[in-house]
Amino acid sequence: MTDARSAAREHALSLLYEAETKNCPASEVLNAQIVDPEPDTILLVDGVAQHSKEIDDLIAERSSGWRLDRMATLDLIVLRIATFELLHRSEVPTAVVLNEAVELAKRFGTDDSGRFVNGVLATMARDVR
């Protein structure tokens, strides 16, 4: 069974992926929803959007050999959500952020996504928490 925060992360991943592939603001995708997303989903989507420059800079610094534009889109979005949580949701334990991100990457990404996301986020967590 999925808890509410896990479901919010998955929904945020879906909405941010839609925004990325449509090349439109995340707020536009949020506003187009027929049913209002849960508050945690909105927090994640808005947080990633509001802090996108800071988040992308931090990811780029810690993903040696990988430019952001060369990363799989889903991997990058998972990294963005987790980085936002590490920076701005101190009430969420680091281990939970990392575990949830790796699970999302494994579930929706490629065979290598879980390892890649784990490697970047392990470094990120040491540096920002």
Q: How many domains does the chain have?
A: 1
- Please state the pTM of the whole predicted model: 0.96
Residue bearing tokens 């980085």? 83
pLDDT in tens, 14-37: 999 999 999 999 999 999 999 999
pLDDT > 70? residue 58: yes
pLDDT in tens, 94-108: 999 999 999 999 999
Indicate which CATH number applies to the domain containing 98. Answer: 1.10.940.10
**Separation CA 39–CA 5 (nearest Å):** 10
Q: What is the pLDDT of residue 38?
A: 96
Q: What is the pLDDT of residue 2?
A: 62
pLDDT > 60? residue 125: yes
**Which residue segment(s) compose the domain that 32 sits in?**
4-128
Give the residue-averaged pLDDT of 71-87. 97
Report in angstroms the alpha-carbon separations of 94 from 4, 40, 53, 88, 100.
17, 17, 22, 12, 10
